[in-house]
């Protein structure tokens, strides 16, 4: 397995552990995957993912904005709201509690 596919697999493992109603930032996922400066790579990898078992919608930008999603921006907002995350004008309004829960789950890898 090459280094890039190992990184991709690690990203998917981390994102799969983000609980419903929680999220991580692209930077947090990159750090947990062992490449803290590779947050753009995380975004690119997740944007190309078609596997519904990987909840890519639970990864957001570090400024609290929603970020991209391969099924569309509006769909990502709708899914996050359905999971109980408060979103207003494309920004997460309850970032502290949701991020902390996800970090504790994902860091257990």
The answer to whether 22 and 104 have CB atoms below 8 angstroms apart is: no
Question: Is the pLDDT at 101 greater than 60, yes or no?
Answer: no
**CATH code where residue 29 lies:** 1.10.10.10
Please say if the pLDDT value at position 93 is more than 90: no
Which residues belong to the active site? 56
pLDDT digits (tens, 9 = 90+) for 12-43: 999 999 999 889 999 999 999 999 999 999 99
88: β partners: 91
pTM: 0.85
Cβ atoms within 10 A of the Cβ of 48, count? 10
Q: Contact at 8 Å (CB) between 24 and 58?
A: yes
Domain that holds residue 52: 3-106
Tokens 């596919």, residue located = 5
Compute the chain's Rg from CA coordinates: 13
* Number of domains present in the structure of the chain: 1
- 70 pLDDT higher than 80: yes
Q: Kindly state the helix (H) or strand (E) to which residue 60 belongs, with its residue range.
A: strand 59-60
């Amino acid at each position: 397995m090459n280094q890039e596919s190992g990184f991709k697999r690690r990203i998917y493992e981390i994102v799969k552990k983000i609980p419903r109603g929680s999220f991580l930032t692209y930077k947090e996922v990159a750090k947990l995957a062992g490449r803290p400066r590779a947050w753009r790579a995380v975004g690119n990898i997740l944007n190309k993912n078609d596997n519904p078992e990987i909840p890519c919608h639970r990864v957001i930008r570090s400024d609290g904005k929603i970020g991209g999603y391969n099924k569309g921006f509006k769909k990502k907002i709708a899914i996050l709201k359905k999971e109980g995350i408060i979103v207003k004008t494309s920004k997460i309004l309850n970032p502290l509690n949701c991020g902390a829960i996800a970090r504790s789950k994902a860091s257990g890898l």
